[in-house]
C-alpha cells in the first residue's frame, strides 16, 4: 500500500482495510463495537488467546495445587524462561538472553545494580531529559545508594526543542566520566526512535556500557539487540504486546555478560537444578535467568502466552509495515482535515525515526481528550498539551482512523471540548 495515493474519503479508508493482510487478527481481540480504542501504546486490548491462557493457568492451580509448578498445561517453574524464548524474536536476541520477570522499574534497578561499576572519575550515569520519570527516579536512587549526588552524577542530555533528541548531542555527552548509559528506544511523548545501533557503537568505542528502555517499542518495531551488541534492555509487556494491566516485564542481557553476578540477588535467579538445594550460596543461572529476583507472578505471566502466539503468527515485520502505513494515513488525515484548528504533529515525519504512535499537540489537549472519550474514542493524554493516538496494527482499522479524525474535526468546529476542564484526570 502506498501513501502517495492518499485520499481523505471514507471509501479510500475502506479500500485500505480491504488490502490489509493483518485485518483477520482484529477478531482475536475484544473490540467494543461502540468505541474506538486508540490507546494501545498505554494498555493493549485483551485478546481472546491471552484470556484463554490466563484461564488455563487458573485451571492448573485449581487442578494441581502446588504441583502446578511442574505439571499442568503451563508449568510455572519454567514459565519465565518459556516466555523469554517466545519474546526473543521481537527484540532480536537468542532465547537465553531474554527473561520475562519483574517490572520495568524493578528490572532497571536490577540492571543498574549489576552493570553500574563506578571507578575513579568514571562514575556518572548518562540519561536524557525526555525519558519516562520512573527511569530517572530509579537512576537517582541507585546513585544515592552508592553515595553519589544525583545532581552531579546523573547527566541528562538536553533536547533542542522539547520533543526530540539528537544522537550527536548524546554522543557528545559520552565523556570520560560516564560509567553507564541508559536511554529509551522510543521517546514516550513524541514517539521518536533513537538510533540504537549507532549509539551502542559510540558508547563501546569509549568503553561505556549502554542499555535501553524498550517500553514504547517492543511489539511495535523490530529490534536487533544482539546484532547491535547492546549490553542490556528492559521493557513492559502491557502496551503493544497486550499482556494485561500489571503484566510482568521483560529483560535482555547480552550473552557476553553471562556469568556476571546479579546486583540484586534472589532465589529465582538460581540455576534451575540448584534452586531447591536451599544452599546459602547462590549458583546463578547461566543465562538472563540469573537476573530474576523473586517468585514469578504466574497469573500476570499467563496472558502473555496467548498474546505472544499472535505476534509469532502475524510477524513483527508485518506489524511494523502496517503500523507505519496507518500512522502515516493518520498524519495525512490530520493535515488535510484539521489544519484550521491549531494542532501540531509532534512526532517525527521520517518512518525510520517514528515509533508506533502519533503525538498531536494542542493548547486544549486535556479537554479535547475528554471530549473524545465522551464520543466513544479512547485517546491518551500527556501533560501539558499532548494527545497521543496509537492505531495498533493488530486490531485498529483504517476506517476507525478516518472516523477518529472526523469526530475530532466536529469536536473542534462545534467547540464541544469547552464543556470540559482543561486539566488531566488522576490517571491521564
391 closest CA partner among 125, 37, 85 = 37
Angstrom CA distances, 114 to 151, 210, 288, 296, stand at: 22, 12, 12, 20
Residue for cell digits 529483560?
251
- Residues annotated within the binding site are 104-105, 132-135, 213, 216, 238, 267, 295
Tell me the three state secondary structure of residue 317: helix
Answer yes or no: are the C-beta atoms of 285 and 298 closer than 8 Å.
no
Residue for cell digits 549489576?
114
DSSP class per residue in 140-176: HHHHHHTT--HHHHEEEEPPSSSS---HHHHHHT--T
- Residues annotated within the binding site for pyridoxal 5'-phosphate are 104-105, 132-135, 213, 216, 238, 267, 295
Angstrom CA distances, 242 to 188, 231, 312, stand at: 17, 26, 13
Amino acid at each position: 500500500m502506498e501513501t502517495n495515493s492518499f485520499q481523505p474519503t471514507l471509501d479510500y479508508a475502506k479500500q485500505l482495510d480491504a488490502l490489509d493482510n493483518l485485518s483477520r487478527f482484529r477478531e482475536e481481540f475484544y473490540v467494543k463495537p461502540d468505541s474506538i480504542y486508540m490507546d494501545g501504546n498505554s494498555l493493549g486490548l485483551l485478546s481472546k488467546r491471552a484470556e484463554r491462557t490466563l484461564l488455563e493457568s487458573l485451571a492448573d492451580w485449581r487442578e494441581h495445587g502446588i504441583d502446578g509448578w511442574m505439571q499442568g498445561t503451563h508449568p510455572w517453574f519454567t514459565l519465565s524462561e518459556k516466555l523469554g524464548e517466545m519474546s526473543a524474536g521481537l527484540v532480536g536476541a537468542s532465547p537465553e538472553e531474554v527473561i520475562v520477570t519483574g517490572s520495568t522499574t524493578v528490572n532497571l534497578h536490577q540492571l543498574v545494580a549489576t552493570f553500574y561499576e563506578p571507578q575513579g572519575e568514571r562514575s556518572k550515569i548518562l540519561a536524557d531529559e525526555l525519558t519516562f520519570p520512573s527511569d530517572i527516579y530509579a537512576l537517582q536512587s541507585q546513585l544515592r545508594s552508592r553515595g553519589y549526588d544525583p545532581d552531579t552524577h546523573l547527566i541528562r542530555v538536553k533536547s533542542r526543542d522539547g520533543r526530540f533528541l539528537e544522537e550527536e548531542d548524546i554522543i557528545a555527552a559520552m565523556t570520560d566520566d560516564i560509567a553507564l548509559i541508559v536511554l529509551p528506544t522510543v521517546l514516550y511523548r513524541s514517539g521518536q526512535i533513537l538510533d540504537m545501533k549507532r549509539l551502542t557503537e559510540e558508547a563501546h568505542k569509549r568503553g561505556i556500557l549502554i542499555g535501553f528502555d524498550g517500553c514504547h517499542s517492543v511489539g511495535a518495531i523490530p529490534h536487533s539487540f544482539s546484532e547491535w551488541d547492546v549490553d542490556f534492555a528492559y521493557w513492559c509487556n502491557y502496551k503493544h504486546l497486550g499482556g494485561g494491566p500489571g503484566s510482568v516485564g521483560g529483560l535482555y542481557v547480552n550473552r557476553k555478560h553471562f556469568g556476571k553476578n546479579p546486583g540484586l540477588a534472589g532465589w529465582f535467579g538460581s540455576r534451575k537444578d540448584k534452586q531447591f538445594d536451599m544452599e546459602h550460596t547462590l549458583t546463578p543461572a547461566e543465562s538472563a535467568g540469573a537476573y530474576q529476583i523473586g517468585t514469578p507472578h504466574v497469573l500476570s505471566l499467563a496472558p502473555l502466552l496467548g498474546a505472544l502466539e499472535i505476534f509469532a503468527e502475524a510477524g513483527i515485520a508485518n506489524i511494523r509495515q502496517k503500523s507505519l502505513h496507518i500512522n502515516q494515513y493518520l498524519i495525512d488525515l490530520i493535515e488535510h482535515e484539521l489544519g484550521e484548528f491549531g494542532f501540531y504533529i509532534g512526532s517525527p515525519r521520517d518512518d525510520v525515526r517514528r515509533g508506533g504512535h502519533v503525538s498531536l499537540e494542542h493548547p486544549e489537549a486535556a479537554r479535547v481528550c475528554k471530549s473524545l472519550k465522551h464520543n466513544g474514542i479512547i485517546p491518551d493524554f500527556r501533560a501539558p498539551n499532548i494527545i497521543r493516538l496509537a492505531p495498533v496494527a493488530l486490531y485498529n482499522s483504517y476506517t476507525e482512523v478516518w472516523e477518529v479524525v472526523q469526530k475530532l474535526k466536529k469536536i473542534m468546529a462545534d467547540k464541544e471540548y469547552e464543556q470540559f476542564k482543561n486539566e488531566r484526570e488522576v490517571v491521564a
